[in-house]
């Protein structure tokens, strides 16, 4: 009886954890789609491997589409910030230190993601450098634009490594939580392993595309959050237990 009495004020103060989980799922889905098209699908249509002149020509002939890709990339960064914060809010009661670490790793990943978007948009600035363009031959400007896209790809791969570390930490938190299925946590950790393979590009190339199948954990997590959310009762139970420990200390 006392548990229910203590639980009611908590439920009135806290927004439903199931709602938070589903909202996180929505933003994960939005971030994934905008990042996929904005930073992978659309840029791939412009780059001609090893041909700086053709790449520059493609960008200048379809500037609207190129800018749209950059815009989608910026949107993905904003969506990413929201769901990292929501995940921290959901899992800090499982392990505050580990959840905080995951949040910091997530923010580092987001910073790298944002940098990759900046580098993605740089070719337009370089190719439309105006008064400064006369100081460089056209071939050099084209080469600089192409090199910017190469740096963007490297930065994006580094972002994926930090995102993989976030997946490992979050998967472990899910596994320990009790309010999400353990198998979802295991699959999320396996997805983290797949992203972390980018640490060693030769290994990633050798295992491509087989290691990408491990990324199914991300899809499983998103679908579970959107359809089931979390077990609210178990979430409240953990919160009450944590509050009792804090009050005793």
Give one DSSP letter per residue of 201-217, joined into a string: HHHHHHHTTGGGGGGHH
Phi, psi of 138 (to 5 degrees): -60, -35
Quote the domain boundaries for residue 201: 16-248
Residue-wise pLDDT tens digits, 73-93: 999 999 999 999 999 999 999
Greater model confidence, 12 or 133 = 133
9 is a domain residue:
no
Give dist(CA 198, CA 191) in Å, integer: 12
99 touches 173 (CB < 8 A): yes
Say yes or no to pLDDT of 186 above 60.
Answer: yes
| Prediction pTM value | 0.87
Q: Among 71-80, 223-232, 237-246, which stretch is predicted with the lowest mean pLDDT?
A: 237-246
For residue 241, how far is the Cα from the chain centroid? 31
Measuring CA to CA, which residue among 135, 142, 91, 84 is closest to residue 114?
84
For residue 57, what are its two tokens? 């020509």
For residue 210, what are its two tokens? 């087989």
pLDDT band at 10 (very low <50, low <70, confident <90, very high): very low
238 is a domain residue:
yes
10 is a domain residue:
no
11 is a domain residue:
no
3 is a domain residue:
no
Altogether, the residues listed in the chain come to a count of 249
Average pLDDT on 81-109 reads: 95
6 is a domain residue:
no
pLDDT band at 1 (very low <50, low <70, confident <90, very high): very low
209 is a domain residue:
yes
Say yes or no to pLDDT of 249 above 50.
Answer: yes
pLDDT > 90 in the chain, percent: 71
Say yes or no to pLDDT of 135 above 70.
Answer: no
Give how many domains the chain has, as a whole number: 1
4 is a domain residue:
no
Measuring CA to CA, which residue among 11, 31, 53, 29 is closest to residue 224?
29
């Amino acid at each position: 009886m006392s548990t229910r009495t203590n639980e009611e004020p908590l439920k009135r103060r806290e927004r439903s954890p199931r709602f938070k989980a589903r909202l996180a799922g929505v933003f994960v889905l939005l971030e994934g789609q905008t990042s996929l098209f904005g930073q992978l699908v659309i840029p791939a249509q412009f780059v001609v491997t090893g041909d700086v002149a053709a790449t520059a020509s493609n960008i200048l002939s379809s500037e609207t589409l190129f800018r749209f890709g950059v815009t989608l990339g910026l949107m993905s960064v904003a969506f990413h910030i929201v769901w990292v914060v929501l995940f921290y809010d959901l899992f800090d009661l499982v392990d505050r230190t580990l959840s905080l670490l995951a949040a910091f790793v997530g923010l580092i990943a987001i910073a790298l993601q944002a940098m990759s978007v900046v580098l993605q948009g740089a070719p337009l600035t370089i190719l439309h450098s105006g008064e400064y363009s006369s100081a460089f031959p056209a071939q050099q400007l084209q080469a600089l634009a192409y090199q910017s896209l190469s740096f963007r790809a490297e930065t994006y791969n580094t972002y994926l490594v930090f995102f993989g570390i976030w997946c490992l930490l979050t998967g472990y938190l899910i596994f320990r939580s009790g309010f999400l299925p353990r198998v979802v946590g295991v699959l999320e950790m396996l997805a983290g392993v797949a992203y972390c393979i980018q640490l060693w590009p030769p290994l990633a190339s050798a295992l491509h595309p087989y290691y990408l199948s491990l990324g199914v954990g991300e899809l499983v997590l998103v679908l579970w959050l959107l359809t089931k959310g979390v077990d609210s009762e178990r979430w409240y139970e953990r919160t009450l237990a944590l509050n009792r420990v804090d009050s005793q200390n």
